[in-house]
Amino acid sequence: MRKNIILIGFMGCGKTSVGGKLSRALHYRFLDTDQLLEDAFGCTIREFFAREGEEEFRRRETGLISDFLGSLGSTVLSTGGGMPLREENAKILKKLGTVFWLKASEETTVARLRGDTGRPLLLQGDIEETVHRLLAERTPLYEAAADYTLETDGKSFYEIIKEIENALRWHLMPH
Ligand code: S3P
């Protein structure tokens, strides 16, 4: 079974859009942890956060990816932006496949997320302040969890996918 491609990164960096297109280009399956969790919860992530809280959401994220160990192959897996917050999750993701961090600048991130109502962490406070604070907290965690970092600012989906394919070629070749 071929290994998997894992996409991590902050909210709004394009994991789901890139993941879908990449999976079609490679003839891989596409899975998105947020979508799978919403299916399992039977409600939106926003509703789940309001009802059960963030800690429970994080616990369910860990449960979901742990269940993939030993069974997932030939899949592009997009993950929720908070997935690498738990060290345990970062370890599981590395075991599952090659981890790509889709990195976007703070300005691009704010512009993409302004007006968003589906993401519970953005519902309170000023968007600029929230993105600034969370990016500062999370950047080292994304860095540590990733095998490859991809700068996405100003790049088309096509360019991002080509970069991932090139990196995979190197990664898969013995050297
Ligand atoms: C979260 C990101 C969201 C979703 C949840 C929490 C986060 O996923 O999992 O709202 O903590 O950054 P996206 O990155 O797909 O928006």
Sheet holding 29-32, edge to edge: 29-32, 75-78, 4-8, 97-103, 148-151
What is the Å distance from ligand 1's center to 66 Cα? Answer: 18
Residues within a 6 A CB radius of ligand 1: 11, 15, 34, 45, 80-82, 119-121
Contact 104, 58 (CB under 8 A): no
Query: What total number of domains does the chain contain?
Result: 1
User: Could you tell me if residue 172 is inside a domain?
Assistant: no
Q: Ligand 1: which atom is nearest the Cα of residue 61?
A: 9
User: Could you tell me if residue 168 is inside a domain?
Assistant: no
Torsion angle, alpha carbons of 8, 69, 62, 7, to 10 = 10
User: Could you tell me if residue 44 is inside a domain?
Assistant: yes
Residue nearest atom 10 of ligand 1, based on CA coordinates = 119
Q: Mean of the per-residue pLDDT values for the chain?
A: 95
* pTM tops 0.75, yes or no: yes
CATH number of the CATH domain containing 84: 3.40.50.300
Q: Ligand 1: which atom is nearest the Cα of residue 121?
A: 10
Residue nearest atom 4 of ligand 1, based on CA coordinates = 80
Q: pLDDT value at position 48?
A: 98
What is the Å distance from ligand 1's center to 120 Cα? Answer: 8
Q: What is the 3 state secondary structure string of the chain? A: CCCEEEEECCCCCCHHHHHHHHHHHHCCEEEEHHHHHHHHHCCCHHHHHHHHCHHHHHHHHHHHHHHHCCCCCCEEEECCCCHHHCHHHHHHHHHHEEEEEEECCHHHHHHHHCCCCCCHHHCCCCHHHHHHHHHHHHHHHHHHHCCEEEECCCCCHHHHHHHHHHHHHHHHCCC
User: Could you tell me if residue 170 is inside a domain?
Assistant: no
What is the Å distance from ligand 1's center to 175 Cα? Answer: 36
Q: pLDDT value at position 151?
A: 97
Q: pLDDT value at position 174?
A: 57
What distance in Å separates the CA atoms of residue 154 and residue 145, rounded to the nearest whole number?
24
User: Could you tell me if residue 31 is inside a domain?
Assistant: yes
Q: pLDDT value at position 171?
A: 74
Query: What range does the domain containing 12 cover?
Result: 4-163
pLDDT tens digit at each of 175 positions of the chain: 568 999 999 999 999 999 999 999 999 999 999 999 999 999 999 999 999 999 999 999 999 999 999 899 999 999 999 999 999 999 999 999 999 999 999 999 999 999 999 999 999 999 999 999 999 999 999 999 999 999 999 999 999 999 999 999 887 665 5
Q: Ligand 1: which atom is nearest the Cα of residue 11?
A: 14
Residue nearest atom 12 of ligand 1, based on CA coordinates = 81
Ligand 1 pocket mutation pick from 34, 54, 122, 123 by most atoms within 8 angstroms of CB: 34
User: Could you tell me if residue 171 is inside a domain?
Assistant: no
User: Could you tell me if residue 78 is inside a domain?
Assistant: yes
Q: pLDDT value at position 93?
A: 97
